[in-house]
Structure 1
């Protein structure tokens, strides 16, 4: 029986709207970082990094955990899914290696399938 996943950390557990409001208060109205952090309940160092644009991957109130980035956009992923489902409807079985080849083909060509 599958277990229920319990998140083990509190990283980026803040609200996007609160971070946006805190960034706006600091940049436009000159509110101190510590005050904005306390009022809007966002981490102080995260607020500082986002205001000073020191964060490499996440900007503004966008959350981003880790340094890994996705290769495909949402449209490309949907195109790949639809292509695989089309193969399934036509009763053409795909192996994991075939799926990897399709993904590589989609990644290497900009025009898609």
Structure 2
């Protein structure tokens, strides 16, 4: 969660070239709290909340994801293929490098 404001800011900064989609791994029963959090962070774009069992949810995103959070996947703007992914929090530099790579992919 620590990187959430930064990632949201990247979405605003690169809004012509980047689409940020947030996916909550919270349980569906916590949907109101998730929506309240997104609203408090001024997130108005696409977002999703987990509605399937853990293993199915995890493998639906990436087979190498262990389920550790946060998990980030970056897709190429033109190619639609994965240009980078990682588990756990990373330094802002990693996000910027991945976004720039995605914009040019």
Q: Give the TM-score of the pair, scaled to structure 2.
A: 0.24
Q: Give the TM-score of the pair, scaled to structure 1.
A: 0.23
User: Greater relative contact order (Cα 8 A, min sep 6): structure 1 or 2?
Assistant: 2
Q: Per residue, is there more strand in 1 or in 2?
A: 2
Larger Rg: 1
